[in-house]
Protein backbone atom coordinates (compact mmCIF):
# COMPACT_ATOMS: atom_id res chain seq x y z
CA UNK A 1 0.00 0.00 0.00
CA UNK A 2 1.35 3.43 -0.90
CA UNK A 3 1.06 6.67 1.02
CA UNK A 4 -1.60 7.64 -1.57
CA UNK A 5 -3.83 4.67 -0.72
CA UNK A 6 -7.42 5.75 -0.03
CA UNK A 7 -8.44 5.82 3.62
CA UNK A 8 -11.57 4.38 5.19
CA UNK A 9 -13.25 4.41 8.57
CA UNK A 10 -13.51 0.79 9.65
CA UNK A 11 -14.17 -1.15 12.83
CA UNK A 12 -11.10 -2.63 14.50
CA UNK A 13 -12.11 -6.25 13.85
CA UNK A 14 -11.57 -5.86 10.11
CA UNK A 15 -7.84 -5.48 10.69
CA UNK A 16 -7.71 -9.10 11.83
CA UNK A 17 -10.03 -10.60 9.23
CA UNK A 18 -8.72 -13.44 7.12
CA UNK A 19 -10.87 -15.79 5.06
CA UNK A 20 -10.74 -19.27 6.59
CA UNK A 21 -10.82 -20.94 3.15
CA UNK A 22 -11.15 -24.70 3.38
CA UNK A 23 -11.40 -24.48 7.20
CA UNK A 24 -14.56 -22.35 7.06
CA UNK A 25 -17.51 -23.87 8.94
CA UNK A 26 -20.05 -22.59 6.39
CA UNK A 27 -18.41 -21.49 3.15
CA UNK A 28 -19.92 -18.54 1.32
CA UNK A 29 -19.30 -20.33 -1.98
CA UNK A 30 -22.69 -22.05 -1.96
CA UNK A 31 -26.39 -21.41 -2.31
CA UNK A 32 -26.60 -17.96 -3.85
CA UNK A 33 -26.17 -16.01 -7.02
CA UNK A 34 -22.54 -14.99 -7.56
CA UNK A 35 -22.48 -11.79 -9.62
CA UNK A 36 -19.70 -11.53 -12.19
CA UNK A 37 -18.63 -8.05 -13.32
CA UNK A 38 -18.10 -7.39 -17.04
CA UNK A 39 -14.25 -7.34 -17.14
CA UNK A 40 -14.15 -10.63 -15.20
CA UNK A 41 -16.81 -12.17 -17.45
CA UNK A 42 -14.78 -11.23 -20.52
CA UNK A 43 -11.60 -12.56 -18.94
CA UNK A 44 -13.33 -15.90 -18.26
CA UNK A 45 -14.63 -16.12 -21.84
CA UNK A 46 -11.07 -15.73 -23.14
CA UNK A 47 -9.68 -18.67 -21.10
CA UNK A 48 -8.45 -21.42 -23.43
CA UNK A 49 -6.87 -24.05 -21.18
CA UNK A 50 -9.01 -27.07 -20.38
CA UNK A 51 -10.82 -28.22 -18.33
CA UNK A 52 -11.27 -24.71 -16.83
CA UNK A 53 -12.36 -23.13 -20.14
CA UNK A 54 -15.28 -25.54 -20.61
CA UNK A 55 -16.32 -25.23 -16.96
CA UNK A 56 -16.34 -21.42 -17.21
CA UNK A 57 -18.45 -21.52 -20.36
CA UNK A 58 -20.84 -23.99 -18.74
CA UNK A 59 -21.35 -22.29 -15.38
CA UNK A 60 -20.78 -18.57 -15.95
CA UNK A 61 -23.62 -17.18 -18.00
CA UNK A 62 -24.72 -13.71 -18.99
CA UNK A 63 -27.17 -12.25 -16.48
CA UNK A 64 -30.75 -11.83 -17.66
CA UNK A 65 -33.93 -10.33 -16.25
CA UNK A 66 -33.69 -8.75 -12.78
CA UNK A 67 -30.18 -10.20 -12.28
CA UNK A 68 -28.86 -7.72 -14.89
CA UNK A 69 -29.18 -4.94 -12.31
CA UNK A 70 -26.65 -6.74 -10.14
CA UNK A 71 -23.96 -7.79 -12.57
CA UNK A 72 -23.03 -8.55 -16.15
CA UNK A 73 -22.67 -12.27 -15.59
CA UNK A 74 -23.72 -14.75 -12.96
CA UNK A 75 -22.94 -18.14 -11.44
CA UNK A 76 -26.36 -19.25 -10.26
CA UNK A 77 -26.36 -21.75 -7.41
CA UNK A 78 -29.40 -23.52 -6.03
CA UNK A 79 -30.02 -23.43 -2.26
CA UNK A 80 -27.08 -25.23 -0.63
CA UNK A 81 -25.53 -26.12 -3.98
CA UNK A 82 -21.76 -25.55 -3.78
CA UNK A 83 -19.97 -23.42 -6.36
CA UNK A 84 -18.85 -25.75 -9.20
CA UNK A 85 -15.37 -24.19 -9.08
CA UNK A 86 -14.70 -25.36 -5.50
CA UNK A 87 -12.18 -28.22 -5.50
CA UNK A 88 -12.18 -31.23 -3.17
CA UNK A 89 -10.27 -29.21 -0.54
CA UNK A 90 -13.02 -26.52 -0.71
CA UNK A 91 -10.60 -24.08 -2.36
CA UNK A 92 -11.49 -21.92 -5.37
CA UNK A 93 -10.40 -23.59 -8.64
CA UNK A 94 -10.41 -20.28 -10.54
CA UNK A 95 -8.07 -18.71 -7.99
CA UNK A 96 -5.80 -21.79 -7.98
CA UNK A 97 -5.52 -21.79 -11.80
CA UNK A 98 -5.49 -18.06 -12.57
CA UNK A 99 -4.45 -16.32 -9.34
CA UNK A 100 -6.43 -14.07 -6.96
CA UNK A 101 -6.57 -11.24 -9.52
CA UNK A 102 -8.90 -13.41 -11.65
CA UNK A 103 -11.66 -13.38 -9.03
CA UNK A 104 -14.80 -11.36 -9.67
CA UNK A 105 -15.43 -8.33 -7.49
CA UNK A 106 -18.09 -10.22 -5.53
CA UNK A 107 -15.74 -13.11 -4.71
CA UNK A 108 -12.81 -10.82 -4.04
CA UNK A 109 -14.68 -8.35 -1.80
CA UNK A 110 -16.95 -10.60 0.26
CA UNK A 111 -17.56 -10.20 3.18
CA UNK A 112 -16.32 -6.61 2.96
CA UNK A 113 -18.90 -3.88 2.35
CA UNK A 114 -17.49 -0.58 1.09
CA UNK A 115 -19.73 2.43 1.56
CA UNK A 116 -19.59 6.20 1.17
CA UNK A 117 -21.68 8.42 3.42
CA UNK A 118 -21.19 11.51 1.29
CA UNK A 119 -18.15 12.61 3.29
CA UNK A 120 -15.88 9.59 3.65
CA UNK A 121 -15.40 5.94 2.71
CA UNK A 122 -16.51 3.34 5.24
CA UNK A 123 -15.65 -0.33 5.43
CA UNK A 124 -17.63 -2.97 7.29
CA UNK A 125 -18.16 -6.69 6.92
CA UNK A 126 -21.28 -8.69 6.32
CA UNK A 127 -21.77 -10.83 9.42
CA UNK A 128 -23.13 -13.59 7.19
CA UNK A 129 -19.48 -14.72 7.14
CA UNK A 130 -18.84 -16.85 10.26
CA UNK A 131 -15.29 -15.58 10.70
CA UNK A 132 -16.33 -11.93 10.39
CA UNK A 133 -19.17 -12.58 12.86
CA UNK A 134 -16.79 -14.22 15.33
CA UNK A 135 -14.33 -11.33 15.20
CA UNK A 136 -16.99 -8.60 15.27
CA UNK A 137 -19.06 -10.03 18.11
CA UNK A 138 -16.71 -11.71 20.55
CA UNK A 139 -14.20 -8.90 21.14
CA UNK A 140 -15.35 -6.01 23.34
CA UNK A 141 -13.32 -3.46 21.37
CA UNK A 142 -14.16 -4.90 17.92
CA UNK A 143 -16.35 -1.92 16.98
CA UNK A 144 -13.82 0.76 17.94
CA UNK A 145 -13.35 2.78 14.79
CA UNK A 146 -9.99 3.16 13.05
CA UNK A 147 -8.73 4.96 9.99
CA UNK A 148 -7.26 2.31 7.70
CA UNK A 149 -5.55 2.34 4.30
CA UNK A 150 -7.33 0.42 1.55
CA UNK A 151 -5.51 -1.79 -0.98
CA UNK A 152 -6.44 0.35 -4.01
CA UNK A 153 -4.27 2.74 -6.02
CA UNK A 154 -6.83 5.56 -5.67
CA UNK A 155 -10.29 6.28 -4.28
CA UNK A 156 -12.04 5.89 -7.64
CA UNK A 157 -11.09 2.18 -7.67
CA UNK A 158 -12.78 1.40 -4.34
CA UNK A 159 -15.86 -0.78 -5.12
CA UNK A 160 -18.43 1.28 -3.22
CA UNK A 161 -21.56 -0.82 -2.76
CA UNK A 162 -23.66 1.62 -0.72
CA UNK A 163 -23.48 5.33 -1.29
CA UNK A 164 -25.21 8.45 -0.06
CA UNK A 165 -24.75 11.66 -2.03
CA UNK A 166 -23.08 14.58 -0.24
CA UNK A 167 -25.62 16.82 1.48
CA UNK A 168 -26.63 19.61 -0.89
CA UNK A 169 -26.66 23.17 0.49
CA UNK A 170 -30.40 23.43 -0.26
CA UNK A 171 -31.35 19.97 1.11
CA UNK A 172 -34.70 20.38 2.91
CA UNK A 173 -35.02 16.84 4.33
CA UNK A 174 -33.71 17.24 7.90
CA UNK A 175 -32.97 13.51 8.16
CA UNK A 176 -30.80 13.55 5.03
CA UNK A 177 -29.25 16.79 6.18
CA UNK A 178 -28.29 15.40 9.58
CA UNK A 179 -28.01 11.67 8.86
CA UNK A 180 -24.61 11.38 10.53
CA UNK A 181 -25.90 13.15 13.65
CA UNK A 182 -28.82 10.74 13.91
CA UNK A 183 -26.55 7.73 13.31
CA UNK A 184 -24.16 8.97 16.00
CA UNK A 185 -27.05 9.45 18.45
CA UNK A 186 -28.16 5.84 17.90
CA UNK A 187 -24.58 4.62 18.27
CA UNK A 188 -24.29 6.49 21.57
CA UNK A 189 -27.47 4.81 22.81
CA UNK A 190 -26.14 1.38 21.84
CA UNK A 191 -22.79 2.05 23.52
CA UNK A 192 -24.53 3.40 26.66
CA UNK A 193 -23.47 0.97 29.44
CA UNK A 194 -26.77 1.19 31.35
CA UNK A 195 -28.79 -0.07 28.35
CA UNK A 196 -28.78 -3.55 26.83
CA UNK A 197 -28.76 -3.83 23.03
CA UNK A 198 -32.53 -4.47 22.98
CA UNK A 199 -33.19 -1.54 25.34
CA UNK A 200 -31.03 0.75 23.19
CA UNK A 201 -33.09 -0.31 20.18
CA UNK A 202 -36.30 0.49 22.06
CA UNK A 203 -35.05 3.92 23.18
CA UNK A 204 -33.82 4.58 19.63
CA UNK A 205 -37.30 3.63 18.43
CA UNK A 206 -38.90 6.11 20.85
CA UNK A 207 -36.58 8.85 19.64
CA UNK A 208 -37.35 8.09 16.01
CA UNK A 209 -41.09 7.81 16.69
CA UNK A 210 -41.03 11.33 18.09
CA UNK A 211 -39.11 12.46 15.02
CA UNK A 212 -41.47 10.74 12.60
CA UNK A 213 -44.43 12.45 14.27
CA UNK A 214 -42.72 15.86 14.26
CA UNK A 215 -41.41 15.53 10.74
CA UNK A 216 -44.78 14.34 9.40
CA UNK A 217 -46.13 17.78 10.25
CA UNK A 218 -42.91 19.54 9.32
CA UNK A 219 -42.91 18.12 5.77
CA UNK A 220 -46.15 19.93 5.09
CA UNK A 221 -44.82 23.05 6.76
CA UNK A 222 -41.61 22.87 4.74
CA UNK A 223 -43.61 22.69 1.53
CA UNK A 224 -45.58 25.73 2.61
CA UNK A 225 -42.98 27.88 4.31
CA UNK A 226 -39.51 26.90 3.04
CA UNK A 227 -36.35 27.30 5.07
CA UNK A 228 -38.00 28.56 8.29
CA UNK A 229 -39.78 25.25 8.58
CA UNK A 230 -36.50 23.38 7.91
CA UNK A 231 -34.98 25.19 10.88
CA UNK A 232 -38.00 24.22 13.02
CA UNK A 233 -37.68 20.57 12.00
CA UNK A 234 -33.97 20.67 12.83
CA UNK A 235 -34.74 22.16 16.21
CA UNK A 236 -37.26 19.39 16.91
CA UNK A 237 -34.68 16.80 15.91
CA UNK A 238 -32.05 18.30 18.22
CA UNK A 239 -34.55 18.36 21.10
CA UNK A 240 -35.51 14.70 20.58
CA UNK A 241 -31.84 13.64 20.54
CA UNK A 242 -31.05 15.73 23.61
CA UNK A 243 -34.02 14.31 25.53
CA UNK A 244 -33.33 10.63 24.86
CA UNK A 245 -29.59 10.98 25.49
CA UNK A 246 -29.96 13.10 28.60
CA UNK A 247 -28.49 11.66 31.83
CA UNK A 248 -31.89 12.06 33.52
CA UNK A 249 -33.70 9.98 30.88
CA UNK A 250 -30.95 7.35 30.70
CA UNK A 251 -30.95 6.98 34.50
CA UNK A 252 -34.60 5.93 34.60
CA UNK A 253 -34.94 4.22 31.19
CA UNK A 254 -33.59 0.71 32.06
CA UNK A 255 -36.00 0.23 34.98
CA UNK A 256 -38.94 1.63 33.01
CA UNK A 257 -38.20 -0.61 30.03
CA UNK A 258 -37.79 -3.67 32.25
CA UNK A 259 -41.21 -2.96 33.75
CA UNK A 260 -42.93 -3.03 30.36
CA UNK A 261 -44.90 -6.23 29.84
CA UNK A 262 -43.57 -8.22 26.87
CA UNK A 263 -46.29 -10.26 25.16
CA UNK A 264 -44.16 -13.39 24.58
CA UNK A 265 -46.92 -15.39 22.93
CA UNK A 266 -47.57 -12.61 20.41
CA UNK A 267 -43.81 -12.23 19.83
CA UNK A 268 -43.38 -15.94 19.15
CA UNK A 269 -46.44 -16.09 16.92
CA UNK A 270 -45.28 -13.11 14.85
CA UNK A 271 -41.65 -14.14 14.38
CA UNK A 272 -42.20 -17.89 14.02
CA UNK A 273 -45.19 -17.32 11.74
CA UNK A 274 -43.24 -14.96 9.49
CA UNK A 275 -40.22 -17.28 9.10
CA UNK A 276 -42.32 -20.43 8.69
CA UNK A 277 -44.26 -18.70 5.96
CA UNK A 278 -40.98 -17.97 4.17
CA UNK A 279 -39.65 -21.51 4.53
CA UNK A 280 -42.95 -22.97 3.31
CA UNK A 281 -43.07 -20.69 0.28
CA UNK A 282 -39.40 -20.55 -0.72
CA UNK A 283 -37.48 -23.22 1.20
CA UNK A 284 -34.48 -22.05 3.22
CA UNK A 285 -30.81 -22.78 3.56
CA UNK A 286 -29.93 -26.01 5.36
CA UNK A 287 -28.13 -24.06 8.09
CA UNK A 288 -31.25 -21.96 8.72
CA UNK A 289 -33.55 -24.98 8.80
CA UNK A 290 -31.12 -26.69 11.21
CA UNK A 291 -31.23 -23.60 13.44
CA UNK A 292 -35.05 -23.60 13.41
CA UNK A 293 -34.98 -27.27 14.37
CA UNK A 294 -32.43 -26.80 17.18
CA UNK A 295 -34.18 -23.74 18.61
CA UNK A 296 -37.72 -25.11 18.15
CA UNK A 297 -38.06 -27.15 21.38
CA UNK A 298 -36.61 -24.26 23.44
CA UNK A 299 -39.16 -21.86 22.00
CA UNK A 300 -41.80 -23.73 24.02
CA UNK A 301 -40.07 -22.29 27.14
CA UNK A 302 -39.27 -18.90 25.73
CA UNK A 303 -39.47 -17.13 29.13
CA UNK A 304 -36.61 -19.32 30.41
CA UNK A 305 -34.68 -18.64 27.19
CA UNK A 306 -35.19 -14.90 27.64
CA UNK A 307 -33.78 -15.12 31.19
CA UNK A 308 -30.68 -17.04 30.07
CA UNK A 309 -30.11 -14.72 27.13
CA UNK A 310 -30.42 -11.73 29.49
CA UNK A 311 -27.76 -13.30 31.76
CA UNK A 312 -25.35 -13.76 28.82
CA UNK A 313 -26.16 -10.25 27.59
CA UNK A 314 -25.37 -8.80 31.04
CA UNK A 315 -22.04 -10.67 31.19
CA UNK A 316 -21.00 -9.90 27.58
CA UNK A 317 -23.08 -6.94 26.37
CA UNK A 318 -20.82 -6.39 23.34
CA UNK A 319 -22.10 -9.58 21.67
CA UNK A 320 -25.43 -8.08 20.62
CA UNK A 321 -24.38 -4.42 20.79
CA UNK A 322 -21.63 -5.03 18.25
CA UNK A 323 -24.17 -6.66 15.94
CA UNK A 324 -26.34 -3.54 16.08
CA UNK A 325 -23.43 -1.13 15.64
CA UNK A 326 -22.22 -3.09 12.62
CA UNK A 327 -25.74 -3.08 11.12
CA UNK A 328 -26.15 0.69 11.51
CA UNK A 329 -22.80 1.37 9.88
CA UNK A 330 -23.08 -1.21 7.09
CA UNK A 331 -26.62 0.00 6.25
CA UNK A 332 -25.55 3.68 6.38
CA UNK A 333 -28.71 4.23 8.42
CA UNK A 334 -30.68 6.50 7.86
CA UNK A 335 -29.85 6.19 4.18
CA UNK A 336 -33.18 7.12 2.61
CA UNK A 337 -34.22 10.25 4.52
CA UNK A 338 -37.33 11.13 6.51
CA UNK A 339 -39.88 9.30 4.35
CA UNK A 340 -38.23 5.89 4.92
CA UNK A 341 -36.95 6.51 8.47
CA UNK A 342 -39.42 4.17 10.20
CA UNK A 343 -39.20 1.46 7.54
CA UNK A 344 -35.38 1.47 7.46
CA UNK A 345 -35.18 1.28 11.26
CA UNK A 346 -37.77 -1.49 11.46
CA UNK A 347 -35.79 -3.55 8.93
CA UNK A 348 -32.81 -3.43 11.34
CA UNK A 349 -35.08 -4.13 14.32
CA UNK A 350 -36.71 -7.15 12.65
CA UNK A 351 -33.32 -8.70 11.84
CA UNK A 352 -32.33 -8.17 15.48
CA UNK A 353 -35.67 -9.58 16.67
CA UNK A 354 -35.17 -12.76 14.61
CA UNK A 355 -31.65 -13.20 16.00
CA UNK A 356 -32.86 -12.73 19.60
CA UNK A 357 -35.81 -15.04 19.00
CA UNK A 358 -33.69 -17.99 17.87
CA UNK A 359 -31.15 -17.26 20.62
CA UNK A 360 -33.92 -17.55 23.21
CA UNK A 361 -34.84 -20.92 21.73
CA UNK A 362 -31.25 -22.18 21.97
CA UNK A 363 -30.79 -20.67 25.44
CA UNK A 364 -33.84 -22.49 26.82
CA UNK A 365 -32.43 -25.95 26.12
CA UNK A 366 -31.55 -27.23 29.57
CA UNK A 367 -29.32 -30.01 28.21
CA UNK A 368 -26.81 -27.75 26.42
CA UNK A 369 -24.39 -24.98 27.34
CA UNK A 370 -25.28 -21.57 25.95
CA UNK A 371 -22.73 -18.88 25.20
CA UNK A 372 -20.95 -16.59 22.74
CA UNK A 373 -20.57 -19.37 20.12
CA UNK A 374 -24.36 -19.61 19.90
CA UNK A 375 -24.63 -15.86 19.29
CA UNK A 376 -22.03 -16.09 16.51
CA UNK A 377 -23.86 -19.04 14.94
CA UNK A 378 -27.30 -17.45 15.06
CA UNK A 379 -26.02 -14.13 13.70
CA UNK A 380 -24.24 -15.60 10.68
CA UNK A 381 -26.96 -18.14 9.92
CA UNK A 382 -29.76 -15.53 10.06
CA UNK A 383 -27.65 -12.95 8.20
CA UNK A 384 -26.68 -15.52 5.55
CA UNK A 385 -30.28 -16.53 5.04
CA UNK A 386 -31.31 -12.88 4.68
CA UNK A 387 -28.46 -11.68 2.47
CA UNK A 388 -28.12 -14.68 0.21
CA UNK A 389 -31.84 -14.94 -0.37
CA UNK A 390 -33.41 -11.75 -1.62
CA UNK A 391 -36.92 -13.02 -0.89
CA UNK A 392 -36.39 -13.61 2.84
CA UNK A 393 -36.75 -10.08 4.25
CA UNK A 394 -39.54 -9.01 1.86
CA UNK A 395 -41.53 -12.14 2.83
CA UNK A 396 -40.93 -11.67 6.56
CA UNK A 397 -41.62 -7.92 6.44
CA UNK A 398 -44.81 -8.49 4.42
CA UNK A 399 -46.00 -11.13 6.91
CA UNK A 400 -45.41 -8.66 9.78
CA UNK A 401 -46.92 -5.76 7.85
CA UNK A 402 -50.04 -7.84 7.14
CA UNK A 403 -50.42 -8.14 10.91
CA UNK A 404 -49.78 -4.43 11.42
CA UNK A 405 -46.65 -5.32 13.43
CA UNK A 406 -44.18 -3.20 11.47
CA UNK A 407 -44.50 -0.06 13.52
CA UNK A 408 -42.17 1.65 15.94
CA UNK A 409 -44.95 1.30 18.55
CA UNK A 410 -44.56 -2.49 18.40
CA UNK A 411 -40.81 -2.58 19.05
CA UNK A 412 -41.32 -3.93 22.58
CA UNK A 413 -43.35 -6.82 21.21
CA UNK A 414 -40.66 -7.64 18.66
CA UNK A 415 -37.42 -7.14 20.62
CA UNK A 416 -38.45 -7.14 24.30
Give the binding site for ligand SF4 (CB under 6 A). Answer: 19-20, 24, 27-28, 110-111, 129-131
Using the minimum distance from each CB to ligand SF4, give the nearer residue, 129 or 253. Answer: 129
Cα separation, 364 vs 305, whole angstroms: 4
Using the minimum distance from each CB to ligand SF4, give the nearer residue, 40 or 199. Answer: 40
Cα separation, 322 vs 29, whole angstroms: 25
In whole angstroms, how close is the CB of 153 to ligand SF4 at the nearest point? Answer: 24
* DSSP symbols for 339-399: GGHHHHHHHHHHHHHHHHHHHHHHHT-TTS--SHHHHHHHHHHHHHHHHT-TTHHHHHHHH
Using the minimum distance from each CB to ligand SF4, give the nearer residue, 24 or 250. Answer: 24
* DSSP symbols for 5-24: --EEEEEGGGGG----GGG-
Using the minimum distance from each CB to ligand SF4, give the nearer residue, 112 or 365. Answer: 112
Using the minimum distance from each CB to ligand SF4, give the nearer residue, 18 or 69. Answer: 18
In whole angstroms, how close is the CB of 326 to ligand SF4 at the nearest point? Answer: 15
In whole angstroms, how close is the CB of 348 to ligand SF4 at the nearest point? Answer: 22
In whole angstroms, how close is the CB of 20 to ligand SF4 at the nearest point? Answer: 4
* DSSP symbols for 101-145: GGS-HHHHHTTEEEEE-SSSEEEEE-TTSHHHHHHHHH-TTTT-E
Cα separation, 295 vs 299, whole angstroms: 6
In whole angstroms, how close is the CB of 387 to ligand SF4 at the nearest point? Answer: 11
Q: Do residues 219 and 176 touch, judged by C-beta distance below 8 A?
A: no
Using the minimum distance from each CB to ligand SF4, give the nearer residue, 87 or 256. Answer: 87
In whole angstroms, how close is the CB of 25 to ligand SF4 at the nearest point? Answer: 8
In whole angstroms, how close is the CB of 111 to ligand SF4 at the nearest point? Answer: 5
In whole angstroms, how close is the CB of 384 to ligand SF4 at the nearest point? Answer: 8
Q: Do residues 334 and 341 touch, judged by C-beta distance below 8 A?
A: yes
User: Which neighbouring-strand residues pair with 7?
Assistant: 149
In whole angstroms, how close is the CB of 35 to ligand SF4 at the nearest point? Answer: 15
Using the minimum distance from each CB to ligand SF4, give the nearer residue, 28 or 164. Answer: 28
Using the minimum distance from each CB to ligand SF4, give the nearer residue, 199 or 385. Answer: 385
Distances (CA, A) of 57 to 70, 266, 413: 20, 51, 51
Distances (CA, A) of 359 to 46, 71, 292, 355, 374: 48, 35, 10, 6, 7
Work out the number of other CB atoms within 10 angstroms of the CB of residue 182: 24
Using the minimum distance from each CB to ligand SF4, give the nearer residue, 135 or 175. Answer: 135
Work out the number of other CB atoms within 10 angstroms of the CB of residue 371: 15
Amino acid sequence: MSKYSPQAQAPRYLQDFQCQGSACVDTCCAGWMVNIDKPTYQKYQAVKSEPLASALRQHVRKASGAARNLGYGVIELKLDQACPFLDSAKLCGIQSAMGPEALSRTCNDYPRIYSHDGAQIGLNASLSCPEAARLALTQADAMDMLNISLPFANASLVPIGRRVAPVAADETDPVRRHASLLREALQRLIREPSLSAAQALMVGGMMLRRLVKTLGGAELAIAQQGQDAVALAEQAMAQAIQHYLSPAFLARAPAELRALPVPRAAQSALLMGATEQFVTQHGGRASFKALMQDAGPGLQSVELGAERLAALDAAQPHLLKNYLLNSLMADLFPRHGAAALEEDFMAIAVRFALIQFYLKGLAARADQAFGADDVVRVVYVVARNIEHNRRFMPTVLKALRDQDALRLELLVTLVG
